[in-house]
Amino acid sequence: MADSSSTSNQVETTLTTILYVRRSAAAVDFYTRAFGATPLERVDNEDGSVLAHLAVGKGDFWVSEESPVHQNFSPESLGGSTMHMVLIVDDPHAVFDQAVAAGASSICPVRDEEYGWRIGRVLDPFGHHWEIGKVLSEG
């Protein structure tokens, strides 16, 4: 007899984020070029806006058009961002350069920090900050 308490329908607990932007279709294109993001899901709306679920490596995030009526504001509307994305990669210099070539602005170049990280920061064209780095090996 089959066990009715099967876990096959249970969802693994995860945490992700939604980046609210203006020009969401352009943002999806930028994240694809800058970070090699792969679209997992995409809904194109009649008004040209997009809701997209993207993956970069083992991480994922969503991109959506801002919606002030729902209090979902882009950094452009707020005059700054309330969070930073941290992208951990094998070659921070290469990903940093790729992001800048795709249209990001350099905030702080990649450098070795005294707290054990090689890290730099870019500002994407939609107002979100991305720290790009890796933990330096010990020893």
Domain contains 12: no
Q: How do residues 122-138 score in pLDDT, each as one tens digit?
A: 999 999 999 999 999 86
Domain contains 9: no
Read off the pTM: 0.87
Return the CATH number at 124. 3.10.180.10
| Total domains in the fold of the chain | 1
Q: How do residues 40-53 score in pLDDT, each as one tens digit?
A: 999 999 999 999 99
Domain contains 8: no
CB contact at 8 A, 42 and 51: yes
- Which residues span the domain enclosing 53? 18-135
Instruction: Give CA–CA dist 38/81, Å, rounded.
Output: 24
The CA-CA-CA angle for residues 47, 78, 16, to 5°, reads: 70
Domain contains 84: yes
* HSE-CB of 126 using CA atoms within 13 angstroms: 26
H or E stretch covering 24: helix 24-35
